[in-house]
Each structure stands twice: as structure tokens, then as C-alpha cells.
A and B are shown apart, each in its own frame.
Chain A
Amino acid sequence: MNPQNYLYLAALLFTLGASGVLLRRNAIVVFMCIELMLNAANLALVTFSRMHGNLDGQIMAFFVMVVAAAEVVVGLAIIVMVYRSRHSASVDDASLMKL
């Protein structure tokens, strides 16, 4: 199969994820969309690795997975804490990042 197709798929997934981040309000969903974007990037990396015949892309993909895992741990914890204190998981609820 033509490896380029995987790239199209990755682009599609990334676009889905990005529009999810921008359009959805629920923090959990936003979070899942970010994961989707990360995995789209992973897919692209692995595809490039295959296309160029070296392992650099695959190594990068592993890095991304580790970072994503760490991010999930920290991010979910934050979301849970915010939900507990504000009883809402909407990202538009308050300008949380401004004093």
C-alpha cells in the first residue's frame, strides 16, 4: 500500500483533533482531542520512518507517547481538581489562566 495514505489519515486525524480542541467546551473532550492530535503526529512520524528507511521517526514516536502519558496523568488530575472546586468541566467557565 502507498505509505502516503497514512499521511492523509494522519492529517485527517490531526484536523479532527484540532477542531475538537477549538470547538468543544468540555475539558475532558478537549483533552481527548489533544490526545488525538498527538497520535496523529505519531502516525505521521512512524510513516516517515518507514518512508525514509531509518528509525528516527519511530524513536520520536516513543518520546511522544511517554510525554503524552505524563501529560494525561497531570492533565486529568488538574481537570478533576477544577471540577471538584467549580462543579464544572467547561473550559469557558472562567478565565482560569489569568489572575
Chain B
Amino acid sequence: MESLIGLLVAAPLLGAAVLLLGGRRLDRAGHWFGLAMAAVSFVLAVALFFDLLDRAGEERTLHQHLFSWVPVADFRADVAFQLDQLSMTFVLLITGVGTLIHLYSVGYMEHDERRRRFFGYLNLFLGAMLLLVLADNYLLLYVGWEGVGLASFLLIGFWQHKPSAATAAKKAFVVNRVGDVGLSIAILLMFTTFGSFAFAEVLPNADSASEGTLTGIGLMLLLAACGKSAQVPLQSWLGDAMEGPTPVSALIHAATMVTAGVYLVVRSGAVFDAAPDAQTVVVVVGAVTLLFGAVVGCAKDDIKKALAGSTMSQIGYMMLAAGLGPIGYVFAIMHLVTHGFFKAGLFLGAGSVMHGMNDEVDMRRYGGLRTYMPVTFVTFGLAYLAIIGFPYLSGFFSKDEIIYAGFSKGGTEGWILGGVMLLGAALTAYYMTRIMLMTFFGEKRWQPDANGHEPHPHESPLTMTVPMMVLAGGAVAAGFVFDAGESFVHWLEPVTGLEHGDSPVSHGQVSIAATAVMVLGVAGAWFQYGRRPVPVVAPTGSLLTRAARRDLLQDDFNHAAFVQTGSYLTRGLVYLDHKLVDGVVNGTAASFGGLSGRLRRIQNGFARSYAVSMFGGAAVLVAVTLLMRAV
């Protein structure tokens, strides 16, 4: 069975190679080939899953060593895979949601002349993401890590003729690179500390290193996770990333890639467990992002950007849970999976709405769509109920567990974390209801698009609605399945460990409180957007609203702090290089030139002056000779 792991990664990579190098003759059928490759890896993943289920809990780790990658003296990096319960969970999510979104894209991208290339990029993403979660060492993980970054860059900028898309793509890549510096330094620290960066050698021995080193490694891993998972302070790229086609937003920027940071933290759990300071920072980052994303999500009128704010916020939940240590790891991953279902479903629904509305993204120009797009409405609605934590849907189970884990932290911290997360839950209910109401309810506020075409909303084709239905099904049922007999907890426990803190409140009390704040949030949104008509042009709003619309001024800060100073710095350096460094060189050359100009004047061309210098020279020579002899 082990040999299937390599195939799992290879299938989508092969798809990418064929589609990208195949040229135009593959235009007609290429997308089906891409879909087939994604499906092949899903089938392989399912086969491996059942193989794992057949084994006992402790033996559910498969290894496949392909070849030695970079052997230089003591530095040994291998291309080798490790499949355990944690990576299996990710593999199923990635290939499952990935295949669905491939199918959706067949319909969504139907009229795009570069559809073949789109599928090539999607396949490339799948391959890189699988590499990321299957690698058995950090350096190979890094390859997948940057590979998904590349795929994300290519897909965000897929409509490259739009300058905004190209800028967003570059921004995403560069911000991610800042995170990658963190990952690089973490790997370097591991190498100098443990002489290796393989999971099998670093993680079991983590507590043998000093706490300072481990804190360093932990913080650097967190920096990497912040970049990839759009956590504060490296969150700024995610909103702009919505420039990409919607299936991309669903797959990469909601369900899978952005959760890679959570994977990294959970995978490196042993390091964080031994470095409490680093854990505290993870929790703080998670808590701050949770609120940050939610606030931004409340203010955006662009449906995809509102959902992007929500994604940040939800990953904040996961990050916070991961920072709690063994109390939270399992629930971070559980929320990650359920979030994968409902958020992908929400994005696909948003894509379906845009598809029917001439690619309009401003929710103020939607309204009353529920009768025109019944399937989209129902699937979107189910995912909506799941994300706000409607009782007994998937979000209810996973989010409550995280909130409960937060309280379990104990003491004042526990109350603060629990309170923050409950506030986040209220905000979630508020902004999601807002989206729901502005899009599907109320009166029609449709506007003609830039070319003057009136929108004619219609339901999307089957290739698009089927994935939405499947995902909605998942959003509804996943919670039940995971909760039944605590199956998910038992499945992951051997890898991540599990502890029960002592919570001051009971499970039931948390559920009631969460449901209560959810109702509050829904009610708040209904009062503002359901009871009275929504203006087509956004009102000026309060100071906070305006700031939130500008992503809480993060871009303005980045612009002033980095872009502006950076551009002054480079311009200054270009000037200095020209004037100073080159100036010294040219100055030396010029002074030699000047000197030889002077010397040249001695050569005046008059025979008698030459004769004088000859005689003078001879006289000097004679004099010197005589003097030397005298001495």
C-alpha cells in the first residue's frame, strides 16, 4: 500500500505537466483529463484510508522512501512520504473537495479560452498541497509549501490582463515569502539543533533542546503559518486574493491552502508543547485574527471579500485551538475539516450567484435571488447555517468544542479566550446573516454591468450545482459523523495526543451560550438588513465601518511602513550606487585622465625641448651615478 502514496502525489502533477505542456490541441478535452487526475488521487486516498482503518490505532503510519534528495556531508534531505491519521485527514479533504471543485470549474470556466491552463494550475496546486501534507521532513514540506504558494500566485493572477489581479497575485506571493523566511529559519534552527529536520528525528526529541531554541523554532514556524494562513500580521493578501476565479477562492483560499498553517502548527505540536511562550503567541495571534477577520467581514460589500474575512476569522479559531496544545489540536483539525465543507460550499454558492449576475460581486446590487436560484439558495443556506453554528449542523460541533477548549485553558486566560470566541461567534452570525439577507432576500437591486447588459439571474448548470449539493451535504452531516462515538477524536488522538483541561463551565453551558450569541448576531443583522431596504450605494458609516472596509487600515499601514520606505530606500540606493560607488570609480578614471592630460603637454613636439630633456636626463643619471659611487 505504501507505494500508492507516491502515486497519489504524482497523479495531479502529471496532470499539470500534460495540461501545461500539451498546447492547444488539448483545449477541447483537457479539463476532463485534469478532473480525472484529481479523481484518481481521491480514489487512491480512499483506498489508503480504508487500509489505515484496517490497522490498529498505533500502526496507522505508512512510510514511503523514494530517493535521497540532497546529500551533502551531514545534511541529508530525502524525498520521502509519511502518511498518518493527520495527513490522511488532510489528503481526504484536499482530494475530495479538490475533485468537487474541478468538476465545478468545468462549468464555471466554460467560456474562458484558457480553461485548459486553469485546470493545469489546479492540478499543480493539488500535487503541491499533497506534497505538503505527505512530506516526512520539513524541507520537503517546504517544497510543497512554496509549491502551493506558486499555484496560488498563478491562479490569483489567472486573469492577468486585469492589473488588480496581477498586483494581488504578486502581493500574495511576496507576503507569503515573508512567512517562508520564518519556515527557512525554523528549518535552519532544527538542523543546527538536532542535525536533522525529519519529523521522525526532530519531534520525538524536541524536549531535549533548550526552551529558548524551541521558542525560537516555534515562533518562526508561527511566522510561516501566519503567512500561509493569512493571520495577523501577514493577513493582508487574502482579501486581494479574491481577484482569482471563484473556484480558486473556494479551494485554495478557503478550504485547503490557507489551512496549511494550522497543519504546520499541529504537526509541530511536540515543539510547541515544550515552548509555552510560543504557544501563548499562537493563541494571541489566533484570537486577534478571529476578531479582525470578523470585523472586516461585517463591513465588506463585496461578497467574496466578506467571505474572505470570514475565512480569516475561522482560521483564527483553528489557530487559537492549535495554540492551546493537546487540549485543542484535535478540535482545530475538526473545525478545519468542517470549515472546508461549509466555506467551500459558500464560495461555490457565491460563484454561482456571480455566474448568474454578470460577474457582479457587490452585494448591494443583489437582492431577492432566492426564487431565481433555488438550488444555490438552499445549498448556500445550509452552509450558512453550518458556519453560524446552528444546532446539530457541523459548525455547531466543531466550534463549540474549540470554545470549550478555550475555557478549559483555565483561570483568567480561559475566561478571556472563551469570551473572545463567543464574541467572534456573534460576529460570525451577524456577518453571515448580512450576506444571506443582502443576496437572497429583500427587493431586487440589480444594476446593468459596465457594458450595459441587464443581469438575467438563472440557476447554474449541473456541473456546478452537484458539487454545491455534495458540499452542503457534508456541511450538514460532517458534525454528526465526527461526533458519533467521538470517532474523529479517536481517529486523530494517536498522532496529536488529547488532554482534557478543567473547564469552569460545562459543555452544555457552552453550547447554550454559543447558540444564544448566534441568535443575537442573527437578530442584529436582521434588524439592520432584513427589516429595512438595503441602499444600493453604501452609506458613509461610522469610523469603524470605514476602517473595516479598508481592511482596518492594514494596507495603508503596510504601504506607509514598507512599500513607501522601501521605494525611497531603493531609489536612494540606485542614486548612491550611481553617484557614490560608481562615482569613485569614474572619479579615479577622470583623475588619471586629467593627470595624463597635463603630462601630455610636456610632449610639445619641438625637437629642441626634447633634446633639453634628454640632456637633462643624462645629466641627472650621471650625477646620481657619481653620488652613489661617492656614498
Tell whether any CB of A sits under 8 Å from a CB of B in the complex: yes
Binding site for B on A (CB under 8 A): 18, 21-22, 25, 30, 91-92, 94-98
**Min C-beta distance of B66 to chain A, whole Å:** 74
**Min C-beta distance of A99 to chain B, whole Å:** 8
Is A22 in contact with B607, judged by CB distance below 8 angstroms?
A: no
Closest Cβ neighbor of B607 among chain A residues: A91
- The verdict on B69 contacting chain A, using a C-beta distance below 8 Å, is no
With A18-B615, A96-B605, A97-B607 known, 11 other A-B pairs at CB within 8 A are A21-B611, A22-B611, A22-B612, A25-B608, A30-B608, A92-B606, A95-B606, A97-B605, A97-B610, A98-B604, A98-B605
Is B603 in contact with A98, judged by CB distance below 8 angstroms?
A: yes
A18 to B618, CA, bound (A): 12
Is B604 in contact with A22, judged by CB distance below 8 angstroms?
A: no
**Min C-beta distance of A67 to chain B, whole Å:** 17
Contact of B604 (CB < 8 Å), options: A21, A25, A91, A95: A95
Q: List 7 A-B contacts (CB under 8 A).
A: A22-B612, A25-B608, A91-B607, A91-B608, A96-B607, A97-B605, A97-B610
Binding site for A on B (CB under 8 A): 603-608, 610-612, 615
A94 to B610, CA, bound (A): 14
A18 to B608, CA, bound (A): 11
Instruction: State the main secondary structure of chain B at its contact with A.
Output: helix
Is B608 in contact with A95, judged by CB distance below 8 angstroms?
A: no
Q: Which residues of B contact A92 (CB under 8 A)?
A: 606, 608
**Min C-beta distance of B613 to chain A, whole Å:** 11
Q: Which residues of A contact B606 (CB under 8 A)?
A: 91-92, 95, 97
Closest Cβ neighbor of B612 among chain A residues: A22
| Shortest Cβ-Cβ A-B pairs, 7 listed | A95-B605, A98-B605, A97-B605, A91-B607, A21-B611, A95-B606, A95-B604
**Min C-beta distance of A28 to chain B, whole Å:** 13
**Min C-beta distance of A37 to chain B, whole Å:** 10
Q: Which residues of A contact B604 (CB under 8 A)?
A: 95, 98
**Min C-beta distance of B381 to chain A, whole Å:** 95
Is A22 in contact with B608, judged by CB distance below 8 angstroms?
A: yes
Q: Which residues of B contact A30 (CB under 8 A)?
A: 607-608
Is B615 in contact with A22, judged by CB distance below 8 angstroms?
A: yes
Q: Which residues of A contact B615 (CB under 8 A)?
A: 18, 22
A30 to B610, CA, bound (A): 13
Closest Cβ neighbor of B615 among chain A residues: A18
Closest Cβ neighbor of B603 among chain A residues: A98
**Min C-beta distance of B219 to chain A, whole Å:** 73
**Min C-beta distance of B440 to chain A, whole Å:** 92
Q: Which residues of B contact A21 (CB under 8 A)?
A: 608, 611
**Min C-beta distance of B328 to chain A, whole Å:** 89
**Min C-beta distance of B335 to chain A, whole Å:** 88
A71 to B610, CA, bound (A): 18
Closest Cβ neighbor of A33 among chain B residues: B611
**Min C-beta distance of A98 to chain B, whole Å:** 3
Closest Cβ neighbor of B611 among chain A residues: A21
A92 to B607, CA, bound (A): 7
Q: Which residues of B contact A95 (CB under 8 A)?
A: 604-606
A30 to B608, CA, bound (A): 9
Q: Which residues of A contact B607 (CB under 8 A)?
A: 30, 91, 96-97
Q: Which residues of B contact A97 (CB under 8 A)?
A: 605-607, 610
A95 to B609, CA, bound (A): 10
**Min C-beta distance of B474 to chain A, whole Å:** 91
Q: Which residues of B contact A91 (CB under 8 A)?
A: 606-608
Q: Which residues of A contact B611 (CB under 8 A)?
A: 21-22
